[in-house]
Structure 1
Amino acid sequence: MAMSENRARLGGPIPKFKDYHIWKALYCLSKSAPIGRKKLATLVGVGEGSTRTILTMLQESGAISVKKNGVTLTPEGKKIWASVAMNITTLRVDSLTIGAINCAVQVPRAANKVKFGCEERDNAIKSGAAGATTLIYSNGILMFPGNEYPLDIKSDKAVRAAFNLSNDDAIIIGTADTPEAAEEGAVSAGLELLGGLQLKQESDPMYSPLSSSNELIALAFMVHDLVGGLPVCAKSKDNLGIRIENGKVIDNAYTGAVLEEVLKIGTTIRRIATSGPYKGIRVIVTPLELNNSVIAAIGVVDIRTMAGINNPIRLHEDDDL
């Protein structure tokens, strides 16, 4: 049974969760099981409805067993966890970060996957953190990617005290104003470095009706740059979407009336929004198709019309505004 069918069966609003929350569920189950659904929801930091959907996904992937006494990982689930396992801890290394709170993850044998460290920083920022610092451990030395200079003594001691390091490990330190945002940033960057969650699905196209906001975010940022920084919204057919302004994701659980209409009818719409955060502003939303099916919608908000710039996004003469 497809995940979209599960959501129709479960009813209610579309759950608000990301790959980070699925990872956190696997992490909690790997550390302490069995765990009841309510307790797992608290540990993961999402509502019970989202937790129920996460558990359904994991169950259909053969990753968990759900019984009266709680949820446990199956042998398949332990394999899935082993592919994305990361140690995680809070860390005090103020000289390396910019936020008030730091959370670090140890990504096993991933040093060779790190390029310059800016990629992990960008992934952390997209996930809501203020930034991230990446380190690699090679030949007994902790260093920044791209050079062989060791860390300062204080930071080096702090990282070594936090983790039992092995050669070629990568350390990603997420930084933010809250522990939750710092952790999500570090874990999300680590997941990207590991290649993401490998859950069984019926199909695996680049973009599918099951695409999460993380999978659409690269396309949305590309459009954001192409249109000169105008706000961009994107949503896949069966998941919540994203809203980008000024180079940042300001809402990762977004939907809107025009996005939903385009997903339903499968044609481009150009009109003035009548509701939501862009009410009264001209928008253009177009569908993204795969195999003759609409799988997502992406839109641009023409805020320049508010400043008197007429028609920067071309509209048909017969459009009803």
Structure 2
Amino acid sequence: MITIKDIAKLAGVSYSTVSKALNHDPRIKPATREKVLAVAEKHHYRKNIMAQQLSSGRSNIIGFVLDELNNPLFANISGNLHAELKKLGYQMILVVADEGMDVLDHLRVDGCIFWDYEMTDRAAFWQRFANIQIPCFVLGTDDSPNSPYIKIDRKEGIYKAVEHLKNNGHTQIGFIGNSQPIKLEGYREALQRTGLEWNEDYILPAYSSWEDGYFAIRNYEWTAHAPTAFIGLNNMVTRGALRALLEAGYKVPSDISLIGYDDLPDMQYAEVALTTIGPPLDELAIQAAELIVALIRGEQVQYPVVIQPQLYHRQSVALYQAT
């Protein structure tokens, strides 16, 4: 296996120059960097992470901990976060909680980002989190930990969705999904803020999958007083609900309007281009990358960082026409 010393000899430069070039040090002239990288690529050089850790005390690896991989939202967030961390000179390794934490321990990552996933014992999680000895923070939490964190204002997002539907004449607005208390609280508060009535029957039980959204609509008993618009808990629930509505013969949005929570690229390519509410994922990734790197460098940071969801107008909401 070729080493940095071998590359230095072949490129006609010093060992330290090769090391700086491989780590994208801005002090290295572009022509020198290109020569070094060309030699490294030609001879299939691969970094020795363990050696790098021993010499620098850093791995330049950041862990990202998720609890599930089924939701395309997490693939999108992970891709954006990886790209932003790479710009800052770091690699990202994705692990699944809780067993994945052992992998991060062995790799001795420089820092760690936790997605705030649903758990049965939050007190135990926060206790374990407080004992982690490397820079870390929680992304997307609704709690208020006494440490840096990034919050998504989900309640404000749901309010914007309700407000948008009311502005289009809808006063009977339902919610598909009951597995995320913060969004249900936001839904109830949004109805109060907009002067609309709360109706328990307008909440359709669903967890978080496409099938949950699909069967929530399929199993709903429609009456003359049924909602004229729905908000979906997340992207998958909304896509499933849309399919069920269309199969049942409803026209979206002329019969039923629909807003999905989470904006992903595929939402605009659904059977009906879906209006959505959700955090801008590129901004989320930038803020997360900058925060973890600042913590690794020991810089003072202001927290919480609050991400405001945005409304993305498409074709699944229409002005309500009474019949």
- The reply to whether TM is greater than 0.5 is no
- Give the TM-score, by structure 1 length: 0.21
Higher Cα Rg, which structure: 2
Return the structure number with greater strand share: 1
- Give the TM-score, by structure 2 length: 0.21
Q: Which has the higher contact order (CA 8 A, sep 6+)?
A: 2
